[in-house]
Structure 1
């Protein structure tokens, strides 16, 4: 392989519509401009000519002249990623893979690819490409976690066709990695790091300034934007002069901090997603989310509403001790508080979590290797108080009731502000999925 004319194709695979329907999921346009592809391109040495391809938006030409194909995959994408890898390897092209799926299933992925990168890309990406060029690829490369997030290169958004992301596109950016919390069901802290790290504020602001002329709405795609509150407030101070609009995820306790919320409002926050998980205090303790104070949820919502901050809530159902009325009680609670948007999730024992180990030991996981490989709300466990099919039906019913037109008209204000409009658009999108033929809650459309 010539070291002066190296061609690299980085692919974000799509996914199959279901376990039985191997049709590739496609969309004509995304709202969210992804971060993984352009950031990997930014890490790539200059001797490589890089092409980026989002399979959800474009078809793959398997006969394109290329030296190396890199696949970035979540577990949802893995069945399709393996098929893509097979097609290129059949043509003699080297294939490497990384992403969250490779972190938990490195040995499995290595059976389908020439090399697998486990962990953060920065310490190993250049080495993997050098070894590919020198025909000396190892099967698995494991990265030591970065101690700091200083001097990260700006993503190569210039390699994307931004017209495919619409006129109101949102750029995914990242100002921190890791999470200081240890939730019973969450695996993110494993592949993003248990140690919370953040980028210097001046570097993050400079990156947003460079992107701003391409679009002024940003999504901070990280586990917890407020993982270190003082740092988050310093960053928000830096966002104020940019006059951008942004969204993110943060913990419920921050919704009780009026100084934090005032600054978030001044810095341009438009929407925040919050994992409150349950309206039952005892259930929250079992999830190891004791910082969620169900008795103060109403206060949280009022604080957000007063500042015209749109929000959405995440819930998890399927714990052994949950009350059988929790489904209807949750819907009544959401309507009473006029909550703009909510996501209802079935308890899923993701690989790497304490929940996974407990459920596997008890023989309650239906098929451990099947978890997260297919879209939609799938029950992967044997629930204590119902069948897996009944659990799936309960969640589908919740979606259809919550996103019914009657519920939307009752919960949502007349769209006078951008926040109101954002809530209506989000509800109409979720309604379309809730009432689709499959009932899949497929966030990949974004």
Structure 2
């Protein structure tokens, strides 16, 4: 392929609705502007003409004149990604693939595409494209994790049709990778490069300035925004003059740090998601999350409420030592403390984790290859105290109970008085639609 005539199509696949329903999941509009597509475009050498396609919003023209197709996929999107690859390869187009799914399933993915990239894109992306252009692709490229996150390019949001993301769009950005904590069930720290690293504050602030004229809402999509408190404080100081609104994820211990919360509020934080996982101290100790202080949850919530910071909580159910009443007790706890929003998850052993290794050794994984392949809360283990179907039914009960209108009015102020109130109402009504949908899938891919 001659230089300056190289055509690259980068696709973020959608997913199939269910194992028995191969209908593609589609939406007319997203709230969240994705990061992977425009960031890969920013890493692409200038001799390539790049087109970006989010299949959830657009259909794929398999006869489009392209030389290379790149797929970025989570495990949820993997089956669809393989089918896309098959169609393009039938037409003689080279297909390469990366993303979180590939990290633990490189050999599987390599059976469906011409090459896979494992790990962070920066060290291998240019090489893969060069090899594709020269017809010398290797089956698997493995990246050495970046030591630092200095000098990363700004995402090419100019290549996206932002009208498809609505007038109140939120831009996904990333200021750090990895996580300083080692949770028993979490595999994110592996495919995000392992060691916790962060971008220089000035580079991050300059990137946000470039994006700001396209929208002033941002989501810091990272495992733990406050993984290094001093650095997070420095970044938030840099956000203050920008006048933006932002949301993110951080650990529960930061909700007890009033200095941190005051600066977060001043810098424009709107919403934070917190993985508190359980209201039971013994369960928390068992999953190696001792920094979650169940006895201080009320104090955490009050600290956030006093600063008008909307928040949501993540829970995990299915641990062996759970009491049968934990499901009702959790709902009662959330309503008593007027928690704005919550997500209820079934304990899932993903590859690479200590949990997966223990469950596999004990023969308690139902179907390891199918883990995370489909939307919704699917039980992939043999629980100790109930059947898999009973576990799924309990989680669906929690969603319907928590997002019932009775519970919403009990927990949220009406009428909404602050921006945090309004954010919580919007979030709850969105979750209510999913909880009471025909599938009850709780498919967070709509964002």
Question: TM-score, normalized by length of structure 2?
Answer: 0.99
Deviations 1:385-408 (A, max 9, x none): 000000000000000000000000
Q: What's 2:275 paired with? A: 275
Give the Cα separation in 2 of the matches to 1:185 and 1:373: 17
> Is the Cα–Cα contact under 8 Å of residues 154 and 207 in structure 1 kept in the other structure?
yes
Give the Cα separation in 2 of the matches to 1:199 and 1:290: 28
Give the Cα separation in 2 of the matches to 1:318 and 1:19: 23
After TM superposition, give the deviation of residue 98 of structure 1 in Å: 0.2
Q: What's 1:438 paired with? A: 439
Give the Cα separation in 1 of the matches to 2:249 and 2:371: 24
Could you say what secondary structure the match of 2:219 adopts?
strand
Structure-to-structure mapping, 1:30-429, within 5 angstroms:
30-414=30-414, 415-429=416-430
After TM superposition, give the deviation of residue 19 of structure 1 in Å: 0.8
> Is the Cα–Cα contact under 8 Å of residues 379 and 391 in structure 2 kept in the other structure?
yes
> Is the Cα–Cα contact under 8 Å of residues 272 and 312 in structure 2 kept in the other structure?
yes
RMSD across aligned positions (CA)? 0.4
Could you say what secondary structure the match of 2:424 adopts?
helix
After TM superposition, give the deviation of residue 105 of structure 1 in Å: 0.2
Give the Cα separation in 2 of the matches to 1:230 and 1:420: 29
Give the Cα separation in 2 of the matches to 1:413 and 1:164: 32
Structure-to-structure mapping, 1:20-31, within 5 angstroms:
20-31=20-31
Runs of 4+ more than 2 Å apart: none
After TM superposition, give the deviation of residue 165 of structure 1 in Å: 0.2
Question: May I ask how many residue pairs the two structures share in their alignment?
Answer: 446
Deviations 1:404-427 (A, max 9, x none): 000000000121111111100000
Give the Cα separation in 2 of the matches to 1:195 and 1:358: 24
Deviations 1:96-148 (A, max 9, x none): 00000010100000000000000000000000000000000000000000000
Could you say what secondary structure the match of 2:136 adopts?
coil
> Is the Cα–Cα contact under 8 Å of residues 281 and 294 in structure 2 kept in the other structure?
yes
Could you say what secondary structure the match of 1:305 adopts?
helix
> Is the Cα–Cα contact under 8 Å of residues 201 and 235 in structure 2 kept in the other structure?
yes
Deviations 1:285-342 (A, max 9, x none): 0010000000000000000000000000000000000111000000000000000000
Give the Cα separation in 1 of the matches to 2:423 and 2:222: 21
After TM superposition, give the deviation of residue 4 of structure 1 in Å: 2.5
> Is the Cα–Cα contact under 8 Å of residues 364 and 382 in structure 2 kept in the other structure?
yes
User: What are structure 1's unaligned runs of at least 5 residues?
Assistant: none
Give the Cα separation in 2 of the matches to 1:188 and 1:218: 21
> Is the Cα–Cα contact under 8 Å of residues 314 and 344 in structure 2 kept in the other structure?
yes
> Is the Cα–Cα contact under 8 Å of residues 120 and 193 in structure 2 kept in the other structure?
no
Give the Cα separation in 2 of the matches to 1:4 and 1:34: 27
> Is the Cα–Cα contact under 8 Å of residues 29 and 164 in structure 2 kept in the other structure?
yes
Give the Cα separation in 2 of the matches to 1:319 and 1:42: 42
Could you say what secondary structure the match of 2:16 adopts?
coil
Could you say what secondary structure the match of 1:89 adopts?
helix
> Is the Cα–Cα contact under 8 Å of residues 331 and 402 in structure 1 kept in the other structure?
yes
Deviations 1:154-204 (A, max 9, x none): 000000000000000000000000000000000000111221100000000
User: What are structure 2's unaligned runs of at least 5 residues?
Assistant: none
Could you say what secondary structure the match of 1:366 adopts?
coil
After TM superposition, give the deviation of residue 3 of structure 1 in Å: 2.3
